[in-house]
Chains A and B, each alone.
Chain A
Amino acid sequence: MTAHMLRMAAAGLTACFLSAATALAQTIAVTNGRVITNAEAGVIESGTVLIRDGRIAEVGANVRIPSGARVIDAEGGWITPGLFHPQTELGLVEVALEAAARDNAASGSSFTAAIDVADSFNPAGNHIPSARVKGVTRFAVHPAVGSAIIAGRGALADASGRPDSLFADRQFMLVDLSVSGARTAGGARSAAWAYLRAAIEDARFYPGRFMSHHEGDAINRFDAAAMVDVVRGTIPLIMRMDRASDIRRAIAFQARYPAIRLIIAGGAEAHLLADEIAEAGIPVILDPMRNLPASFDTLAASNRAAGILHEAGVELAYTTLGSDLYWNPRLLRQHAGIAVAHGASWEDAFNAITLAPARIYGVADRFGSLETGKTADVVVWDGDPLEVLSAPTAVLIDGRVTSLETRQTRLRDRYAQMRREGEHGFAH
């Protein structure tokens, strides 16, 4: 864990962030709510979060609200950091079955590691505001797996929908080593691992091995250049896998390549070797909802997995894989609620959808908690955010109050009452 966090910190210094949005010079006080700080201040039963110029200026029970500040009254609800979804296809998929409205998987491409999901990302995607109005303020954008097990590089974005909302590109590399990866690589897990090792070697000896001929053993020169960041540990390598034996191979791989920073996504059987994963310091992105032997990779899947992994000290972030990654990332808090119902502590579960994902992606210095100096991603809820009956009443991103209107709420409002035939079609 410690070693991993040090690598994360080092990477944070070198990561290439796009220019942050310039926040409005405005002071906002979010007040009169139960403040979950996710920081040393813990829970403030009735507190205020003061925001100035897009950042958190002060958090506490007795914060003086400056005159002229815009006041957002939580009315006794909850005030929390915005949720951070570690695994989405938001901005990539508008309609999953329509190739023309889907940009997630490069199924016919000859490129692998060079693929940069930022090129596909559409901040105007309609499902981003749908996630935002349910409290998601930041998210990772993952490429889906296309023609090769190495799917390319993912990005980090905020949920404002603004043109500059993708704030950090080329943040991680994704490789599929699950049963589907085995199929992609030629029919066996051993082929997938051989391909990955060859790609790593192509990158390790980049550019030298490409001087005399343009082809690597597994990937081309352009892909190898992209893979160099993985080999050097500048960006993490996310391995999609579920089966316990695969995770053991990943731990052995980590020992063989100590500079490479691994993250496991999937992890349906991770709880069977929770201590080994904790020891190796490999974070896991897990869906607490998955509890079925949906494949022979997930025979041990259990709703209790999240609690067991937290208990062992594994850095754990939750995802919505069992729902979906493009339309229902908004259900992140429901998935966290399921973890709590089955034994995770509320604090661990909430952490797993806020601060833990920020840490995993090396951006916890800016996101994931309500602390002075951090980016003001703040959500006001009408109740416990992990309760399915609750919902946000205000969502702030970068200190800006965002709209709670979506295409879906427009449809709702249009059909909220019966109207005469023909009257639905007008601009209400």
Chain B
Amino acid sequence: MARLWSAFGAGAAMLALLAGCNEQSNGEAANGGELVRFDPDPYPSTYQPLPSGVTLIRGANVFDGVDQLLEDTDILIEDGRIAAVGQGLAAPDGASVVEAEGRFVTPGVVDIHSHLGVYASPSVSAHADGNEIRHPVTAEVWAEHGVWPQDPGFDTALAAGVTTLHILPGSANLFGGRGVTLRNTPARTVQAMKFPDAPYTLKMACGENPKRVYGTQGRAPASRMGNMAGYREAWQRAVEYRAAWKRYWDADDASATPPTRNFELDTLMGVLDGEILIQMHCYRADEMALVLDMAQEFDYHVAVFHHAVEAYKIPDLLAEANTCAAVWADWGGFKMEAYDSIIENLPITHALGACGMIHSDSDLGIQRLNHEVAKALGDGRRMGLEITDAEAVSWFTSAPARGLGIFDETGSIETGKRADIVLWSAHPLSSYALADHVYIDGALLYDRADPDQRTVRDFMLGQPGQEVR
């Protein structure tokens, strides 16, 4: 899909899709006037890969991100893409060769749950840009309008191998707003970080947070019942809004009065059209099960449950709905709905047939998603589950890339993919593993051995202690 958009121009393709995929309705010029249409991409990505040459990584142990460990394998990078993966690849003239015998390589780390930029460091009140706490339904707000590209957390995440990250609004609201998927590159604008053609997402939230935030103000929702009522009321308005626009577009009459545009319902309509992926904060098994029924009631799909602390109780329901669980290894206890957190959540969910992945939700945790995976894997194996290291690597690479709808572009080391690659100092599931090289689109953005080959956000310039960072 993303490639198709590149070919035709993302704006035009999205326009057609949002118009309900009705080819006939594109003939607005035929009757002289113009039907009202929306620009689905008014803040388009201006991302440009940094310049990169031809690079050959030679002789590495390559975790390809899709369940294989390829030993003594070469990776050829050309034009920012993976040109070849195999043994005994010849180095083209002028290629820079990275001798990596015995060293480990993985795809760039993908974090599907980050608040970098919307809750930037330092966490002063002025940097709280992730929750529009004024109404429980704010599907009209977009995380990209709150991302500060100068958050120093982007730099530390890059040093940990994070090449792609998904920035979400917080979980105060039932509908928190749109998320945005970013390339982890230094940039002056958020547009210059936006992952080209990545689908939009919509953050929703279950459970304690919305009912606490609004209930304590004496407003709805004040209970889990109110949460469900709030979602359903909004979905029903979206169904009616979508029907109104479809009628207008299908009538193909430029003289007709179009429905009134509503930014909140635009986003929900995008979900109902399958163009915007639901990323839903939900802890408890019973609540996830209710949400899956609600998705059937209104005919949409939940792409990923986030936190999903009790995913291990319902792997069958998740698998049946084709819904993934993005989880921590071991956070818990901070509230009642996190009380049944177990370290084996991810391996059990995975082993029992559902789709699982790791996520951070933290500017510290994003710096060691490999550790988080190792902790979950270790305890999973100790309970008898047979999961390979290579499968576990998918939990911080291909699985989150799939959850974001960008797996055709990143998340694995396969020919044709963006060359998002990490060369590690040790086995990536070791406590001692650090990213030595981090490549994004084939460009070396981080080199542990070279202090000049690191990104430094504006905020850090001139701050104390930078000589020892």
Contacts and interface: CB of A to CB of B under 8 A. Distances in A.
Interface of A: 93-98, 127, 244, 269, 271-272, 289-296, 298-302, 304-305, 308, 322, 324, 326-328, 330-331, 334, 337-338, 340-342, 386-391, 408-409, 411-413, 415-418, 424
Contact of B333 (A94, A331, A341): A94
A32 B379 CA distance: 23
B153 A340 contact: no
Contacts of A302: 465, 468-469
A294 B432 contact: no
Interface string B450-469: 00000000011001111011
Contacts of A413: 383
Contacts of B121: 292-294
B377 A389 contact: yes
B378 interface: yes
B159 to A, nearest CB: 9
Contacts of B134: none
B122 A296 contact: yes
B301 to A, nearest CB: 23
B315 A95 contact: no
B interface SS class: loop
Interface in B334-356: 334-336, 339-344, 348, 352
Contact of A334 (B312, B342, B371): B371
Nearest to A328: B330
B191 interface: no
B375 A334 contact: yes
> What are the 5 tightest A-B residue pairs by CB atom distance, in nearest-first order?
A300-B465, A337-B431, A327-B333, A97-B335, A389-B378
Contacts of B208: 97
A391 B341 contact: no
A114 B282 CA distance: 42
B190 to A, nearest CB: 20
24 contacts: A94-B333, A95-B334, A95-B335, A96-B333, A98-B336, A269-B464, A272-B464, A292-B153, A292-B156, A293-B121, A293-B122, A295-B123, A295-B124, A299-B463, A304-B468, A327-B333, A338-B368, A338-B431, A341-B433, A341-B434, A389-B374, A389-B378, A389-B430, A411-B340
A413 B383 CA distance: 8
A299 B434 CA distance: 22
Contacts of B375: 334, 388-389
A324 B378 CA distance: 21
Nearest to B466: A300
A21 B424 CA distance: 47
Nearest to A308: B468
Given A291-B156, A293-B460, A412-B383, A341 B332 contact: no
B431 A386 contact: yes
A304 B377 contact: no
Given A304-B468, A389-B430, A411-B340, 6 more contacts: A272-B465, A295-B124, A298-B122, A302-B469, A389-B378, A390-B378
A388 to B, nearest CB: 4
Nearest to A269: B465
A290 B122 CA distance: 13
Interface in B406-458: 425, 429-434
Contacts of A96: 333-335
Contacts of B312: 412, 415
Contacts of B144: none
A337 B433 CA distance: 10
Nearest to A296: B122
Contact of B152 (A97, A292, A340, A386): A292
Contact of A418 (B156, B315, B371): B315
A330 B329 CA distance: 13
Contacts of B299: none
A97 B431 contact: no
Nearest to B385: A416
A341 B432 contact: yes
Contact of B379 (A301, A337, A386, A391): A391
Contacts of B342: 408-409, 411-412
Contacts of B374: 388-389
Nearest to A272: B465
B273 to A, nearest CB: 34
Contacts of A326: 333
Given A293-B460, A408-B343, A412-B342, A304 B335 contact: no
A408 B341 contact: yes
B392 to A, nearest CB: 10
B122 A294 contact: yes
Interface in B274-319: 312-313, 315-316
Given A388-B431, A415-B348, A327 B152 contact: no
B364 A292 contact: yes
A408 B368 CA distance: 23
B344 A95 contact: no
A389 B343 CA distance: 12
Contacts of B371: 334, 337, 388
A222 B202 CA distance: 55
Nearest to A330: B330
Contact of A389 (B334, B429, B463, B465): B429
B379 A387 contact: no
Interface string B102-121: 00000000000000000001
A314 to B, nearest CB: 15
Contact of A293 (B352, B383, B459): B459
Contact of A295 (B122, B339, B429): B122
Nearest to A387: B431
A271 B340 CA distance: 38
A326 B315 CA distance: 29
B10 to A, nearest CB: 34
A300 B463 contact: yes
Nearest to A414: B313
Contact of A95 (B339, B379, B430): B339
Contacts of B43: none
B333 A290 contact: no
Nearest to A268: B465
A134 to B, nearest CB: 9
Residue picked from A272, A289, A292, A388, most chain B C-beta under 10 Å: A388
B363 interface: yes
Interface string B20-46: 000000000000000000000000000
Contacts of B153: 292
A324 B362 CA distance: 13
Contacts of B336: 95, 97-98
B331 interface: yes
Nearest to A386: B431
A338 to B, nearest CB: 7
Nearest to B364: A322
Nearest to A93: B333
Contacts of B340: 411
Contacts of A337: 371, 431-432
B210 to A, nearest CB: 14
A331 B330 contact: yes
A389 to B, nearest CB: 4
A295 B341 CA distance: 29
Contacts of A95: 333-336, 339
A58 B306 CA distance: 51
A412 B330 CA distance: 13
A331 B344 CA distance: 15
Given A289-B364, A291-B156, A299 B339 contact: no
Contacts of A293: 121-122, 152, 459-460, 463
Contacts of A391: 378-379, 382
Interface in B2-25: none
Contacts of B463: 293, 299-300
Nearest to B371: A388
B468 A416 contact: no
A33 to B, nearest CB: 18
Contacts of B316: 418
